[in-house]
Amino acid sequence: MKVYFLIAFLFSTGALHGETLRVPLVSLPEKIIPAKILEVSGAVVANHLFEGLFCYDPNNKLSSNLVESFRISPDGKKYTLRLKPGVKLANGALLTSGTIRDSLEDAILTLGDTSRWAFGMVEGFDGFISGKQQHLKGIIVSEKNVLELRLKNPYSPMLQVFVSPYFKIAVKDKGAYIGTGPYAIVEQDPGKIILKILPWRRKESDIDEIIFEKVDSRKSMISQAGLKRYDVIEILSPWRIETEDHTVIDFPYLQANLLLLNTKKSVFLEKAARKRFVGLIRKNIDFNLFGWQPTSVGFPFAKNLFKSEAEPVGDGSWKFTVPITVYYSDSAAVDEAGIKLLQDKLKKIGNDIIFVKVPITDLFDKFKQSDYDAVLLGYVPDIIDPDGLFYPLLGSNQQYNFTGYSSKAVDDLLQRGRTELDTSKRFEIYTSLTNAIYADAPMGFLGATKGKMLVSKKYKPPQINSLGLFGFQLNTLRLNKRENGK
């Protein structure tokens, strides 16, 4: 079904004369609700409709976005945020601190307890999500353009939370969510989403229109037809790209390729079996075919958290007596030849282990129903901090804890890492945490993805941070002088 959005009045100030950008994605969201985004493609689209209070610059450093200035108290428990003046929502209304409080509260209620990783330290969190309080006590509108956050305990990456797609500013307007982003949706169907720039943002960009198109696979993006059609393409594989029309930009992508194990299912109830399986996969997989590099290389915050000698490896010849299915999708940077080679190697040593590719939406359904043995998953943390990687995946009952794993010792380490403000002490805590995960093996860290961004040579090569397309604003692309005649 094709849907046209009745926002023509926004574009009545004159015809658009800028560029149209075509971008391929392996999936498209049916509805765009920031707090309900579960995969990267949805976040990429939302990134151009909604904005966070903060963002990351090309060097992975936190930068103010909707915030003009901020102060943090010496004890790390009070934040005072002053908004930039004159920021507009897509309906033309001015952004206020009250709007931000309403947006954050709506997102927290939508996510429920799974938002604890981000706002659990804020005063009144438990009372608010339980329905006992109308507003979250620790989010205070002190002036029309000033917002205060009050925490029970320090939370080191608190400001980074506002980069997350879940907590970008979004308000309900006529049955849909709108934000302060530079674009609005004008058309949507299962195969594409078309965005047009808002009149008051037109001067800041050469890109008037973005068309996100659904493709069947990542490989189709770099086919001859794909390279001819698309202006910006993100590649997360070792494929060699030959193109005269695009600039190829390499970047260390903040994606962990994970092996998730269903700790509630009989075959992986015991940690010994989990460690053997992780070791079996790690020993037999051809990392060169997948184009993966050590996780520590791909994560700008990891340093030597991921020590290969501590990871479960084994001798690679362990035999499982029951058949095991490993699901995967295009969310992980996988190579089909590499998958087949791995499956054949495992079969030769007596394992009945099959790999099945499914759409990412089906994969999330299997997570919800706990209907899987193991999954290869590409995971991009919402924030460039160890807490963004570990807490949602390993914290008890957290949003991306698909393994069903729960450990009081791990929860305690996660909590200590979140509240510690000293960088060196945080590193010691997260080192202990990674060792605990290697010991219990609810998942295996298989490696980090090497990212490539292909950008049409019509545009100046941009700087890309470690979030890749997920963290890149397409409206910041600039035409080369020979293209725009300047």
Q: Which residue has the higher pLDDT, 64 or 484?
A: 64
Question: What tens digit of pLDDT does each residue of 429-473 get?
Answer: 999 999 999 999 999 988 888 888 999 999 999 999 988 898 899
What DSSP state is assigned to residue 100? Answer: H
Question: What tens digit of pLDDT does each residue of 73-82 get?
Answer: 999 999 999 9
Name the residue with tokens 């090497």: 450
Confidence bin at 394 (pLDDT 50/70/90): very high
Confidence bin at 484 (pLDDT 50/70/90): very low
Does domain 59-169 correspond to CATH entry 3.40.50.450?
Answer: no
Within 74-119, residue ranges assigned H as helices are: 97-111, 116-119
Q: Give residue 379's Cα distance to chain centre.
A: 7
Name the residue with tokens 């970008």: 168
With 80 as the cut, is the pLDDT of residue 8 above it?
A: no
Question: What tens digit of pLDDT does each residue of 257-300 get?
Answer: 899 999 998 899 999 999 999 999 988 988 888 878 777 766 76
Q: What is the dihedral of CA 298, 303, 309, 315, to 10 degrees?
A: -10
Lowest mean pLDDT among 90-99, 123-132, 212-221: 212-221
Confidence bin at 141 (pLDDT 50/70/90): very high
C-alpha–C-alpha distance, residues 375 and 268, integer Å: 13
Question: Is 425 in a helix, a strand, or coil?
Answer: helix
Lowest mean pLDDT among 221-230, 300-309, 434-443: 300-309
| Domain spans of the chain, in order of start | 59-169, 253-448
Q: Which residue has the higher pLDDT, 242 or 312?
A: 242
Q: Which pLDDT value is given to residue 450?
A: 80
How wide is the angle at C-alpha 55 spanned by C-alphas 50 and 58, nearest 5°?
Answer: 125
With 70 as the cut, is the pLDDT of residue 316 above it?
A: no
Q: Taking residues 171-200, what's their average pLDDT?
A: 95
Q: Which pLDDT value is given to residue 332?
A: 65
With 60 as the cut, is the pLDDT of residue 68 above it?
A: yes
Q: Which pLDDT value is given to residue 170?
A: 97
Q: Which pLDDT value is given to residue 457?
A: 96
CB 417 within 8 A of CB 386: yes
With 90 as the cut, is the pLDDT of residue 310 above it?
A: no
Share of the chain above pLDDT 90, in %: 67
CB 402 within 8 A of CB 260: yes
Q: Which pLDDT value is given to residue 266?
A: 84
Question: What tens digit of pLDDT does each residue of 331-372 get?
Answer: 666 778 889 999 999 999 999 999 999 988 899 999 999 999
Give the CATH fold of the 253-448 domain. Answer: Dipeptide-binding Protein; domain 3 (3.10.105)
Helix axes 423-440, 408-419, angle to 10 degrees: 160
- Residues forming beta bridges with residue 139, ordered by sequence position: 149
Confidence bin at 17 (pLDDT 50/70/90): low
Confidence bin at 9 (pLDDT 50/70/90): very low
Q: Which pLDDT value is given to residue 2?
A: 55
112: left (phi over 0), alpha (psi -120 to 50) or beta: left
With 50 as the cut, is the pLDDT of residue 13 above it?
A: no
C-alpha–C-alpha distance, residues 341 and 1, integer Å: 40
Burial of 321 (0-12, 13-18, 19+ CB in 10 A): exposed
Confidence bin at 252 (pLDDT 50/70/90): confident
Across the chain, what does the average pLDDT equal? 89
Q: What are phi and psi of 450, to 5 degrees?
A: -90, 120
